Amino acid sequence: ASQKVRLVIHEKGLVCEERDVSLPLQEHKEPWFMRLNLGEEVPVFLHGDAIISDYNQIIDYMEKNFVGDTVAQLIPDADSPLYERVQQYRQLLDGLPMDAYTHGCILHPELTTDSMIPKYATAEIRRHLANAATELMKLDHEEPQLTEPYLSKQKKLMTKILDHDNVNYLKKILGELAMVLDQVEAELEKRKLEYQGQKCELWLCGPEFTLADICLGALLHRLKFLGLSKK
């Protein structure tokens, strides 16, 4: 999600101040960050008095509030014939279980090829599961006002990781991913026919670069990082 937001900021030509929050170093669990976002999700977007922590809401906020002749529009107007197509692929690609792919590939590297996942990642996830109870008790003592949202988040995370440690489940969702990518490839072939003979760039939904292309680009980059690009 953070990568998509960064791409949107870049494509719209916006100037902003960034602060990296390291997930491997558990910075998203620091009290200062949890006060901004009790769900511990990244990214968090601050603009004036607005604090937005949902990826889709951040995108919609930027599309609504940063407009002009020199600012790229990444979501077509609602009355545009391309609007529904962009929204369709936004929902389709955003709905893919990226956390499951990530956890699954970390825990089962035998299913990947040329993965760029750091070797410490598997040990870090296993350590997180083993030490979760101790970390919860420490936070309860140091930051009691944050305990309930943190506890809820950690229980959900541990349950998800355990689910994602299932090879059969991982193979199932990777099969579903392959079907989605086949659909994307077919859609790109449609664009070639739709704009045949016209001098224009061809993107996923039409002749203009849109949010759908950002979603697709971020997905393909992530799959390469995980070692799934050759599947």
Distance of CA 102 to the CA centre of its chain: 11
DSSP β-bridge partners for residue 46: 51
Mind listing the pLDDT tens digit for each residue in 177-223? 999 999 999 999 999 999 999 988 999 999 999 999 999 999 999 99
pLDDT computed for residue 107 by the predictor: 84
Task: Give percent of the chain above pLDDT 90.
Answer: 52
Using only the alpha carbons of the chain, give its radius of gyration.
20
CATH architecture of the region 1-74 = 3-Layer(aba) Sandwich (3.40)
DSSP element (H, E) containing 47: strand 45-47
Which segments of the chain does DSSP mark as H helices, in order? Answer: 2-11, 31-36, 55-65, 83-94, 98-107, 120-142, 147-164, 167-194, 211-226
Tokens read off for 101 = 């792919």
Tokens read off for 55 = 């990826």
pTM for the predicted model, two decimal places? 0.82
What residues does each domain of the chain span?
A: 1-74, 75-231
